[in-house]
Amino acid sequence: MASLLKRSERTSYDRRFAVVRKMSSPIPPGERYRIGIDVVGIGGYIRFEGITFAVQRINTYERQGARWPELELYCLDDGSTRYLEWEREDEISVYVSRAKLDFGTVGIRNEEHLWKMAHDQDGSLRHAGETFRYHEDSQVGFRRDGKGEPTPFRQYLFASANKRRFLCVEEWGRREDGHEHNVILSEYLDPSSIEVLAKGGGDV
């Protein structure tokens, strides 16, 4: 099959096939939903919403003494990258990235508009016909691969009415140098819907 694909498609296919072959110590089918996302490491494999992913990196975020991981996922269906974060309070909460957006898509006029909503702790954004109201903003630290000194950024969260979907605006850098902004749509994912195919603990 790979020989019939264009070069770019063949490269993607070859990499996805190679990643699949790296799966080690697969978990028996009857046990896959009994294992939590909190024990999955680099080189682990998970499936949700009918799609299989390999964990290729684990970054960490920290805020006011709390720390939580971000799993960078390689999609075996199309080679795209997704992100999954989980936090443990009374129970584990999981959120998965759905789309990367921009200011214009969600109704932010400029960074001054964003700052005013944060200052007033009020305001709303819209995406795909849904309203997201100001929820909170805070300083967050990011560690790539969970190592080194944290890189600080400002995070602004806007929540849907049922608080299952969030628009997250990340503000990186310093004002005098010009900020870089990322706008990400994320959604709650039921932890019990995640099928753990392999725990991992190595490299992808």
* pLDDT score of 15: 64
First to last CA, the chain: 23
Percent of the chain with pLDDT over 90: 80
* pLDDT score of 150: 96
Angle at 52 between CA 47 and CA 54, to 5 degrees: 100
Q: Which residue has the higher pLDDT, 172 or 8?
A: 172
Taking residues 154-170, what's their average pLDDT? 98
Taking residues 159-174, what's their average pLDDT? 97
Taking residues 179-201, what's their average pLDDT? 96
Per-residue model confidence as pLDDT tens digits over 81-137: 999 999 998 899 999 999 999 999 999 999 999 999 999 999 999 999 999 999 999
Q: Which residue has the higher pLDDT, 22 or 41?
A: 41
* pLDDT score of 17: 53
Taking residues 46-61, what's their average pLDDT? 96
> In the 8-state DSSP scheme, what is residue 30?
G
Taking residues 20-25, what's their average pLDDT? 68
Q: How far apart are CA 162 and CA 21, in angstroms?
A: 40
**120 and 137 in contact (C-beta within 8 Å)?**
no
Percent of the chain with pLDDT over 70: 87
